[in-house]
Amino acid sequence: MLTLTMPMPSETTCHATPSDDGDDAVLAMRAANADVAAFEQLYRRHHRRVHGVIVRLVGQASARAEDLTQETFVRAWQALPGFRHESAVSTWLHRLAVNTALMELRSRRSRPLQDEDEDTFDQLSTPDTAGNAVLGRDLERAVATLPPRARAVLVLHDVEGWKHAEIATELGMAVGSSKAQLHRARSLLRMRIGEVA
């Protein structure tokens, strides 16, 4: 199926010189030449990290996050012949995952609140099944309950290290709005973590 969606490799792709070290560059070059096994290895190596950033950005609706992870890798497969190896493959995949999640967030803005978004808010007070909530899990759960734009700004700024100008451009908002959303997200997190503790 992937070979049907992948463009034919160009001569420049076949002879590219990678700038990142390790097997990822070699695997990417092989995958760019329609080597499905090489692409499967890249997928296995990077699936968790790609899925993790998508979950943090769009929330913990696992089915949707998994769909977006798959979409990211389909886009990667299609774009590999044009990948110039100017950055590490892992960096390129990570950026592709962030862009895929941001497109999802933009499309949500134009839709009414979905049932899965409402379910996320209901999970806020759900105790850990063992009764011993781990702070990391509580934090992830609390981040997942944030409003989508506040969550996106928080993750992009505090986790991914983006500047407010970059966030504002990607999310289509003013820099001041990005700062306000970050303040809002942090305040909501403090409240929600306090409720769980």
Mean pLDDT of 162-191: 91
Structure confidence at residue 106 (pLDDT): 78
Q: Distance (Å, rounded) from C-alpha 2 to C-alpha 156?
A: 30
Better-scored residue on pLDDT, 107 or 102: 102
The top-scoring range by mean pLDDT among 23-37, 99-113, 140-154 is: 23-37
Mean pLDDT of 66-72: 94
Q: What share of the chain is helix, strand, coil (3-state, %, to 5)?
A: 75, 0, 25
CB distance 47 to 69 below 8 Å: yes
Whether residue 21 has pLDDT greater than 60: no
Question: What residue type is 89 in one-letter code?
Answer: V
Q: Distance (Å, rounded) from C-alpha 109 to C-alpha 164?
A: 20
Structure confidence at residue 135 (pLDDT): 54
CB distance 116 to 66 below 8 Å: no
Whether residue 172 has pLDDT greater than 60: yes
Out of 58-62, 121-125, 153-157, 172-176, least confident range: 121-125
Q: How confident is the model at residue 50 (pLDDT cuts 50, 70, 90)?
A: very high
pLDDT, averaged across the chain: 77
Give the percent of the chain with pLDDT over 90.
Answer: 39
CB distance 153 to 182 below 8 Å: yes
CB atoms within 10 A of CB 122: 9
